[in-house]
């Protein structure tokens, strides 16, 4: 069974803005997918359809085989967890600990399991020292990590992330990169929206490029990110590695994006007397 299916989905906001235009794609179980495009392209709108926060104006969305138009947000949350771009929109408890525990309690986990999962999540995201504080006193980056902890504590099969690297320093980005890879290796379906081309280049996912509510391209990162025309249409700058590879094509380097170590090895081999 496919994890996510968008079948001819269009969405018009109450203001009259047409955010999605006949969008169709599928995500298999265990896939890692990144939505990329300019501000207002429809990335966040797509993610909000996964847990029923938005319902299609036309077309169908299926999550774990469920027609999202027929289920509540609470019911869909056990299948797809969404980490908002603005983390504060997820918070309403008085302490960081209670914030992470809330969903677990509502899903019926025992007190012992709740305690273990909350403690693990806070420790993993380096938030233990804030357990008794209000979530609203945290910095922007800490709030983002707390939002991630809230979702990962109950470990839904589908994890949706909206601009997860915003406000994160290089160490936290590296940790997030490894965590996303680990989740994906463990069988979670991960779909995220991101402008961070360097982060996405390191992650090497499948990319769905979007512009003005329509899909422009869909394929592996090593084909999408070096394509300057696709990036131009989506108002994205190519990652530094893609720029380097473009400069080296005259030396016979491959067109596809490769990792830094491979690029260095190929360059040395090409230049060796």
207-231 residue pLDDT tens: 999 999 999 999 999 889 888 899 9
What confidence tens digit (pLDDT) does each residue in 101-156 have?
998 998 889 999 999 999 999 998 889 999 999 999 998 888 988 998 999 888 89
Question: Which pLDDT value is given to residue 14?
Answer: 94
Coil/strand/helix, residue 164: coil
**Which residues form the domain of 107?**
81-155
Is 89 part of a structural domain of the chain?
A: yes
Residue 146: partners with Cβ closer than 8 Å, 6 or more residues away: 87, 91, 96, 99, 100, 125, 127, 130, 135, 138
CA R_g for the chain: 20
Distance between CA 99 and CA 146 in Å, rounded?
Answer: 8
Q: What is the pTM of this model?
A: 0.86
Is 116 part of a structural domain of the chain?
A: yes
Distances in Å between the Cα of 209 and the Cα atoms of 27, 55, 151, 233, 273 are 14, 22, 25, 9, 41
Distance between CA 160 and CA 164 in Å, rounded?
Answer: 10
What confidence tens digit (pLDDT) does each residue in 48-98 have?
999 999 999 999 999 999 999 999 998 999 999 999 988 888 898 999 999
- Residue 189 exposed, middle or buried by CB count within 10 Å (0-12, 13-18, 19+): buried
Specify the pairing of strand 18-27 against strand 4-12. Answer: antiparallel
pLDDT at 46 over 90: yes
**Residue 13 pLDDT grade (very low, low, confident, very high; cuts 50, 70, 90):** very high
Residue burial 130-153, b: 16+ Cβ < 10 Å; e: rest? bbeeebeebeeebbbbbbbbbbbb
Is 167 part of a structural domain of the chain?
A: no
Coil/strand/helix, residue 230: helix
φ, ψ dihedrals at 92, nearest 5°: -155, -5
Is 12 part of a structural domain of the chain?
A: no
Q: What is the DSSP letter of 128?
A: G
CA 83, 84, 90: angle at the middle one, nearest 5? 90
Is 141 part of a structural domain of the chain?
A: yes
Counting residues of the chain whose pLDDT is more than 90, the rounded percentage is: 62
Is 129 part of a structural domain of the chain?
A: yes
Is 246 part of a structural domain of the chain?
A: no
Is 178 part of a structural domain of the chain?
A: no
pLDDT at 31 over 90: yes
Coil/strand/helix, residue 273: coil
Element (H, E) at 77: helix 73-77
- Give the count of domains, the chain: 1
């Amino acid at each position: 069974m496919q994890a996510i299916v968008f079948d001819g989905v269009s969405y018009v906001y109450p203001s009259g803005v047409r955010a999605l235009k006949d969008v169709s794609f599928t995500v298999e179980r265990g896939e890692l997918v990144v939505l990329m495009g300019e501000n207002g392209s429809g990335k966040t709108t797509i993610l909000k359809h996964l847990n029923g926060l938005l319902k299609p104006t036309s077309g169908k969305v299926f999550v774990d085989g469920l027609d999202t138009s027929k289920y509540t947000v609470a019911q869909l949350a056990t299948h797809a967890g969404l980490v908002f771009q603005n983390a504060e929109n997820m918070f309403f408890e008085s302490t960081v600990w209670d914030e992470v525990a809330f969903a677990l309690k509502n899903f019926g986990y025992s007190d012992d399991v709740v305690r273990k999962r909350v403690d693990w999540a806070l420790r993993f995201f380096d938030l233990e020292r804030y357990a008794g504080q209000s979530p609203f006193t945290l910095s922007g980056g800490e709030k983002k990590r707390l939002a991630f902890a809230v979702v990962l504590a109950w470990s839904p099969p589908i994890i949706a992330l909206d601009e997860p690297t915003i406000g994160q320093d290089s160490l936290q980005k590296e940790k997030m990169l490894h965590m996303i890879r680990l989740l994906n290796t463990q069988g979670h379906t991960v779909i995220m929206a991101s402008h961070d081309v360097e982060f996405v280049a390191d992650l090497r996912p499948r990319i769905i490029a979007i512009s003005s509510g329509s899909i422009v391209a869909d394929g592996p990162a090593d084909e999408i990110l070096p394509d300057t025309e696709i990036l131009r249409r989506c108002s994205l700058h190519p990652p530094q590695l893609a720029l380097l590879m473009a400069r080296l094509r005259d030396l016979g380097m491959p067109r596809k994006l490769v990792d830094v170590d491979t690029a260095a090895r190929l360059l040395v081999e090409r230049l060796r007397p």
